[in-house]
Amino acid sequence: MKDLGPLSPGSATDSRLTRRTFLKRAALGAGAALAFPTIVPSSVFGAHAPSNRIVLGTIGMGGMGMGNMRGFLGNREVQVVAVCDVDRDRLENGRRTVDDQYGTEDCTPYHDFRDLIAHPGLDAVSLATPDHWHAIAAITAARAGLDIYGEKPFSHNLKEGRAMCDAVQRYGRVWQTGSWQRSVDNFHIACELVRNGRIGRVHRVEVGLPDGKFRQDPPLTDIPDGLDWNMWMGPAPWTPYRGVAHWDWRWVLNWGGGQMMDWIGHHLDIAHWGLGLDRTGPVSIEGSGDFPGGAVFDAPVSFNFTCHYANGVAINVANGSQLPMKVGTRWIGEDGWIWVNRGGFKSDPVNLVQKRIGPGETRLITSRDHRGNFIECVKNRQTTITPAEVAHRSASVGHLGQIAMLTGRRIHWNPETETIIGDPTASALLGRACREPWSL
């Protein structure tokens, strides 16, 4: 059995019992005999806490879901107690991973995310489903009083993103988006340099994202045993099974948004952060893209659009092979430029990085552990380094770029009201109806 630090698995169970007693007492004064959750991380109350661990459930046991869960399993302040997936094999893999880590047999597997959200004693969920499930799962979790670590892109479409932000705000939840580049030094340094005017007034930004992917439409095939295909599709349009689900869903607009939406929550988010534009959006968007004409795979394989902001900055978003610096974020100012990517930092003049930020200059929130930042904020109720509104604004740029490319027109956008001006057809693409019986 692994050493779990101050709380052994046995005492974790004990602490949950204590937590229930504590919460029951907390709820009594509220007359809460109703079906409301009464969740508040007891660690908020420091030394008075019945338990200092954040009790977590994870929804989606694919690549990112497992990766995030392993990260949380390695955090001594977290206890993962439940997992969820609509694929039986993946669910079992997730359950086994948790139990192997703790040396126990008590991780609860759930087929339906609503049952996981109702799991007694949860403080938070880690959400890593395909994009088309983000909104409903997140809103359900927020309504249940859970804090959320959610994968990027924030939402499948813009209206769903706004609904998610509203829910997070309405229920006072802590949200962290998986835009983990914010918690990496070179991105943080680059953004602080830009924010503090080291390259002068920025007039243009190039955001290079990986080139899109495409596969030929596979033939119809039988649904594998153990995969609940109807639940997997959820609110997305019904479509016959062609062997396309895990991983490859990203190249299908009904479920994802291609490489463009996958990465917009990274490099565009960083662009916004450096400019201090991460709580607003562009005022116009135009561009074009190559959309494969498949029955299944239809996300753009290449894309190139430019967003103009009210302060005069233009952000050009394109797949990397169309940009001089390829993948990454490059801010271009009156006095030079800075480019940053994973493991990379370049600037002109070359010694810009030496001009570190001193006391009294603008400091951006610092995190060196993205998941840890979430757990810390769950405990102290502060805002994470990538809260819902910020993530929504970076995803919005992708959604608007997509609409501009799909309609072939310049889109005029009001970032305050989040409405497209004078183009009803384009406006209709801001959201979509959920497949019955699902709704936001």
Q: Which residues, numbered 187-226, are part of the site for another protein (CB under 8 A)?
A: 210, 213-217, 219-220
Which region, judged by CB under 8 A, interacts with another protein, from 9-17, 110-118, 168-176, 388-396? 168-176
Q: Interface with another protein includes 26 (CB under 8 A)?
A: yes
Site for another protein in 44-103 (CB under 8 A): 44-48
Q: Which stretch binds another protein (CB under 8 A): 77-85, 258-266, 329-337, 373-381?
A: 373-381
SS3 32: coil
Chain centre to alpha carbon of residue 305: 22
Residue among 9, 276, 294, 415 that touches another protein (CB under 8 A): 294
Looking at 36-44, 64-72, 83-91, 96-104, which segment touches another protein (CB under 8 A)?
A: 36-44
Q: What is the nearest approach in angstroms of another protein to the Cβ of residue 383?
A: 7
User: Given candidates 24, 70, 170, 203, which one binds another protein under the rule CB under 8 A?
Assistant: 170
Residues contacting another protein: total by CB under 8 A: 97
Task: Give the number of other CB atoms < 10 A from CB of residue 46.
Answer: 10
Q: Which amino acid is at 421?
A: I
41 near another protein, judged by CB under 8 A:
yes
Nearby residues of 272 by Cβ (< 8 Å), 6 or more positions away: 278, 390, 393, 394, 397
Q: Does 368 bind another protein (CB under 8 A)?
A: no
Distance in angstroms (rounded) separating the CA atoms of residues 104 and 190:
44
Nearer to another protein among residue 23 and residue 56 (C-beta): 23
Q: Helix (H, G, I), strand (E, B), or coil: what is residue 348?
A: strand
CB of residue 45 vs another protein: minimum separation in angstroms? 5
- Binding residue for another protein, selected from 9, 18, 27, 115, defined by CB under 8 A: 27
Name residue 427's amino acid. Answer: S
- Which one among 12, 39, 268, 271 touches another protein, defined by CB under 8 A? 39
Distances, alpha carbon 82 to alpha carbons 15, 56, 60, 294, 426, in Å: 16, 7, 11, 38, 41
Contact (Cβ atoms closer than 8 angstroms) between residue 61 and residue 232 = no
**Positions in 378-407 near another protein (CB under 8 A):** 379-383, 405-407
- Residue 423 class from Cβ within 10 Å (0-12 exposed, 13-18 middle, 19+ buried)? middle
Q: Should residue 432 be labelled a site residue for another protein when binding is judged by CB under 8 A? A: yes
Contact call for residues 160 and 308 (beta carbons, < 8 A): no
Q: How far apart, in Å, are the Cα atoms of 297 and each of 227, 251, 256, 269? A: 21, 6, 10, 26
Give 203 or 368: the residue with its C-beta nearer to another protein: 368
Stretch that binds another protein, among 94-102, 127-135, 189-197, 281-289 (CB under 8 A): 281-289
Minimum distance, C-beta of residue 336 to another protein, in the bound complex (Å): 13
Tokens of 416: 């305050």
Compose the 319-348 pattern: x for residues touching another protein by CB under 8 A, - for all others: -x-----xx---------------x-xxx-
In angstroms, the CA 136 to CA 123 distance is: 18
Distance (Å, whole) CA 103 – CA 84 = 19
* Phi, psi for 390 (deg, rounded to 5): -65, -45
- Interface residue with another protein among 5, 105, 324, 354 (CB under 8 A) is 354
Least distance from another protein to the Cβ atom of residue 9, Å: 26
